[in-house]
Amino acid sequence: QKEVEQNSGPLSVPEGAIASLNCTYSDRGSQSFFWYRQYSGKSPELIMFIYSNGDKEDGRFTAQLNKASQYVSLLIRDSQPSDSATYLCAVNVDSSYKLIFGSGTRLLVRP
Amino acid sequence: DTGVSQDPRHKITKRGQNVTFRCDPISEHNRLYWYRQTLGQGPEFLTYFQNEAQLEKSRLLSDRFSAERPKGSFSTLEIQRTEQGDSAMYLCASSMDSIAIYFGEGSWLTVV
């Protein structure tokens, strides 16, 4: 079993809709969780991170964490074509802050 | 703050040659990481430095790979006797005793 799992997609949503991206992880000791956005041919860009159960909002982005279910999600409200990218979920597994990444979900926002 | 800088951005080399990548982290960041990413996959951890000390190496880092951070500032990643399977994007990242890890633009390696 992979440590961090994501649906590869593509997830296709119309412009203005809410995009919901999901991620599950296997290590119950994981403490912090990250979402990165990666455009084709570019490097990952940090969007947000979350430590505690519940929701964390930043602009159009909301990260949701449920440690009991080992599940983290990213909601993108009012999706724009410029949001079309691969979204990588990553988990911190120990005090080194080393991140374990999922394979990413490709999001397509249709104009 | 100019971000994490990597050089060269692209490198094409013949199988068997050695290559070296350089990373300049964000100023004052004490932690530096190297990752490798292939098409369709997420970044895979290679190694990690805290200041000048290399604290962890992945099993992915074979004997042909070596990384250094001699003065706790910039870092180099050398690949000896390159193989076609080494073709990937090599990503450097840094952080400052905090959770957030920021990536550079990456160095693309193509081994022909």
The partner residue sitting opposite A96, judged by closest CB among B41, B56, B102, is: B56
- Chain A contacts of B40, Cβ < 8 Å? 8, 103
> What is the three-state SS of chain A?
CCCEECCCCCEEEECCCCEEEEEEECCCCCCEEEEEEECCCCCCEEEEEECCCEEEEECCEEEEEECCCCEEEEEECCCCHHHCEEEEEEEECCCCCCEEECCCEEEEEEC
Q: Give residue for tokens 């929701």.
A: A55
* Gap from A18 CA to chain B (nearest CA, Å): 24
Q: Would you say residue A7 has pLDDT above 70?
A: yes
Give the distance between the most distant pair of CA atoms in chain A: 42
The partner residue sitting opposite A96, judged by closest CB among B55, B105, B106, is: B55
**pLDDT band, very low/low/confident/very high, at B100 (cuts 50, 70, 90):** confident
Q: What percent of chain A has pLDDT over 90?
A: 78
- Chain A contacts of B100, Cβ < 8 Å? 34, 46, 49
Q: Please indicate if any CB of chain A lies within 8 Å of the CB of B7.
A: no
Are A21 and A60 in contact by the 8 Å Cβ rule? The answer is no
What sign does the dihedral A7-A10-A12-A16 (CA atoms) show?
A: positive
For residue B71 the two structure tokens come to: 């003065």
Report pLDDT digits (tens) over B9-65: 999 999 999 999 999 999 889 999 999 999 999 999 999 999 999 988 998 888 999
**pLDDT band, very low/low/confident/very high, at A26 (cuts 50, 70, 90):** very high
Report pLDDT digits (tens) over A82-92: 999 999 999 98
Q: Would you say residue A75 has pLDDT above 90?
A: yes
pLDDT attached to residue A16: 97
The whole-number average pLDDT for the span A9-26 is: 96
Q: Give residue for tokens 């990444």.
A: A101
Q: Which residues contact A65 (CB under 8 A, 6 or more apart)?
A: A33, A50, A51, A52, A53, A54, A56, A71, A72
Which residues of A lie closer than 8 Å to B, measured between beta carbons? 4, 8, 32, 34, 36, 42-46, 49, 51, 88, 90, 92, 96-104
